């Protein structure tokens, strides 16, 4: 029997609907029949307030999947765990590490998971599934685990560090994507795509014997992308023939504008409250 998977944006940087709010961050809710999961939790409890407005009950959520440890994705984690009491947490161990970003003036700011939440997770291993490798979260819905970085034009560096003195670069091995297959191809959800959006897609295609990609939604982290990287990324999207692109969150406005321009009729926003349905 065919099943509909419904994806609703609970947190994103933009909002177009009355009664909902936006923040810099990301959180998607995914409903497959009677089962549901949360992919990222935004930076506050906003995901929960928006879910209430949208009449989405998070109490029965079975899984909370974290794309990586940055606090615009993990900031709502404590609230999410308190709300979805039965949920197992799927994340890479590196998501718990302290994380910092270097500011243009050379100072740094903490951007990792709240330390007390990280401690709580460490002390409740029975509720956690570590994802260094791909894991099936629920029937046919997978998280990628660590993503190999092989695409030559994708510079996956950034002003990210594991210490406040900015001496140890954070390569973000915790970065992972969520995916599931449908009759029309894969649907892929990105957190920030710190591993590179094309690295992510190529890896997922390797894991799925080269299934086509129907939809790609989430943060593509292209705000600092060079002209060459952008051109190569657009060429790769063209080659992959992706039907729906939802560049959002940290994709960056110039990159979003280029994508909308390059793929007319194939782009959508993922503003808070957006609902998409996929048949599988
Ligand atoms: Fe982000
Ligand atoms: Fe991030």
CATH (domain of 150): 3.60.15.10
CA of 89 to the centre of ligand 1 (A): 19
Nearest ligand for residue 159 CA = 2
State the ligand closest to the CA atom of 69.
2
How far does residue 73's CA lie from ligand 2's centre (Å)? 7
Q: How far is the CA of 221 from the centre of ligand 2 (A)?
A: 8
Q: How many domains does the chain have?
A: 1
Residue 121 CA to ligand 2 center (angstroms) comes to 20
Tens-digit pLDDT string for the chain (280 aa): 689 999 999 999 999 999 999 999 999 999 999 999 999 999 999 999 999 999 999 999 999 999 999 999 999 999 999 999 999 999 999 999 999 999 999 999 999 999 999 999 999 989 999 999 999 999 999 999 999 999 999 988 899 999 999 999 999 999 999 999 999 999 999 999 999 999 999 999 999 999 999 999 999 999 999 999 999 999 999 999 999 999 999 999 999 999 999 999 999 999 999 999 999 9
Contact call for residues 28 and 218 (beta carbons, < 8 A): yes
CA angle 92, 199, 27 (to 5 degrees): 50
User: Closest by alpha carbon to 185, among 100, 280, 121?
Assistant: 280
CA of residue 225 to ligand 1 center, whole Å: 15
Q: Given this model, what pLDDT does residue 1 score?
A: 66
Say how far residue 147 (Cα) sits from the centre of its chain: 13
Structural domain of 263: 4-279
Predicted TM-score (pTM) above 0.95: yes
């Amino acid at each position: 029997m065919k099943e509909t998977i419904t994806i609703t944006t609970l947190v994103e940087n933009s909002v177009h609907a009355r009664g909902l709010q936006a923040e810099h961050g990301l959180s998607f809710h995914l409903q497959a029949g009677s089962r549901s999961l949360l992919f990222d939790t935004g930076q506050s409890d906003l995901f929960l307030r928006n879910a209430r407005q949208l009449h989405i009950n998070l109490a029965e959520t079975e899984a909370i999947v974290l794309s990586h440890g940055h606090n615009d994705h993990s900031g709502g984690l404590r609230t999410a765990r308190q709300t979805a009491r039965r949920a197992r947490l799927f994340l890479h161990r590196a998501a718990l590490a302290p994380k910092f970003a270097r500011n243009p003036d050379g100072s740094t700011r903490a951007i990792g998971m709240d330390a007390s939440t990280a401690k709580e997770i460490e002390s409740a291993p029975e509720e956690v599934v570590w994802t260094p490798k791909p894991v099936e979260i629920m029937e046919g819905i997978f998280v990628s685990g660590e993503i190999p970085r092989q695409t030559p034009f994708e510079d996956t560096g950034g002003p990210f560090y594991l210490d406040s003195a900015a001496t140890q670069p954070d390569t973000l091995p915790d970065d992972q994507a969520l995916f599931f297959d449908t009759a029309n191809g894969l649907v892929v959800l990105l957190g920030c795509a710190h591993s590179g959006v094309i690295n992510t897609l190529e890896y997922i295609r390797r894991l799925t014997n080269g299934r086509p990609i129907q939809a790609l939604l989430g943060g593509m982290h292209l705000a600092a992308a060079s002209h060459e990287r952008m051109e190569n990324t657009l060429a790769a999207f063209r080659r992959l023939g992706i039907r729906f692109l939802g560049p959002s969150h940290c994709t960056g406005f110039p990159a979003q504008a280029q994508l909308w321009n390059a793929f007319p009729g194939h782009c959508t926003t993922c503003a808070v409250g957006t609902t998409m349905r996929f048949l599988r």
